[in-house]
């Protein structure tokens, strides 16, 4: 396994751990549930949230996601972009909690602009299955700034407690 795989696995447990620390049962699905890395509920198990985790290194300019980020999976689905420092990095963990609807809209818009914009040498961009979310202080091509989603655990909590 690569370092990237280990860090990706670790980030899922860090996110689940943070949800548990806040009093919510959260389980890592270990790849056994399509589109859901973490399944979380309120204490009464009457409300649920599905969470897809994508990992990046703090200080990087982007976090890559796949084409499935273009799909709005509904109001109980969230993306958590987890900035997990490398072992030798002196940086804090970063978590951007983004509702599926917001992610979908902005990924579609940003990718469309990228496809339509010529590259550095004027070349046409080739179609790709990779989508990029720009990390603060950068903003996406459509002007999307995800900084307001930093540590917004309350967005998930609202769904679990409403």
**pLDDT tens-digit profile of 98-107?**
999 999 999 9
**pLDDT tens-digit profile of 21-32?**
999 999 999 988
* Residues 152-160, mean pLDDT to the nearest whole number: 98
**pLDDT tens-digit profile of 114-154?**
999 998 999 999 989 999 999 999 999 899 999 999 999 99
107, exposed or middle or buried, with CB in 10 Å at 0-12, 13-18, 19+?
Answer: buried
Percent of the chain with pLDDT over 70: 99
Q: pTM, whole model, 2 decimals?
A: 0.95
pLDDT attached to residue 142: 94
The interaxial angle of helices 153-161 and 3-21, nearest 10 deg, is 50
- Domain span at 114: 3-161
The total number of structural domains in the chain stands at 1
CATH code, 64: 3.40.1350.10
């Amino acid at each position: 396994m690569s370092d990237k795989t280990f860090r990706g696995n670790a980030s899922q447990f860090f996110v689940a751990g943070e949800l548990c620390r806040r009093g919510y049962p959260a389980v890592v699905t270990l790849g056994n549930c399509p589109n859901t890395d973490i399944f979380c509920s309120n204490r009464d198990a009457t409300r649920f949230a599905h969470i897809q985790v994508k990992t990046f290194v703090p200080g990087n300019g982007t976090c890559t996601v796949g084409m499935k980020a273009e799909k709005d999976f509904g109001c109980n689905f969230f993306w958590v972009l987890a900035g997990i420092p490398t072992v030798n990095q002196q940086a804090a963990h970063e978590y951007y909690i983004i509702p599926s609807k917001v992610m979908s809209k902005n990924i579609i818009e940003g990718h469309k602009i990228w496809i339509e914009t010529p590259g550095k040498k004027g070349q046409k961009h080739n179609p790709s299955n990779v989508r990029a979310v720009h990390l603060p202080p950068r903003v996406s091509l459509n002007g999307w700034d995800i900084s307001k989603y930093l540590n917004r655990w309350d967005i998930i909590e609202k769904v679990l407690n409403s």
